[in-house]
Structure 1
Amino acid sequence: MLVDQLQTNPQIPVRAVKHQLESNLEVKIHPQKAFRALQKAKKTLKGDYKDQYGDLRDYVIELRRSNPGSTVKIEVEDCHDPSSSTRVFKRIYICLGACNRGFRAIGRDLLGVDGAFMKEPASGFLLTDVGLDCNNGIYPLAYAIVESECLSSWTWFLELVASDLELNEMSNFTFISDRQKGLISAVAKVFPVAEHRFCLRHIHENMKKNWRGACATATTVPQFERAMAAFKDFSEPAYVYLTKIPPAQWTRSHFSG
Structure 2
Amino acid sequence: MGEATRRLVALLDLERLDTDLFRGQQPETVRQRVYGGQVAAQALIAASRTVEEGMHVHSLHSYFLLPGDYQVPIIYDVERIRDGRSFATRRVLARQHGRPIYYQSLSFQRAEEGLEHQDVMPEVRPPEQGVDLMTRMAERGTDDGLSKEWAALDVRWLGNSSHGLEPDPMHPAQTQVWIRVDGRLSDDPIEHLATFTYASDVSLLGATLAAHPDTSPRNIQMASLDHTIWFHRPFRADEWWLYDQWSPSASGGRGLALGRIFTQDGTLVATVAQEGLIRPSR
The structure that is strand-richer by fraction is 2
Q: Which TM-score applies when normalising by structure 1?
A: 0.25
Q: Which TM-score applies when normalising by structure 2?
A: 0.23
Structure number, greater radius of gyration: 1
The structure that is helix-richer by fraction is 1
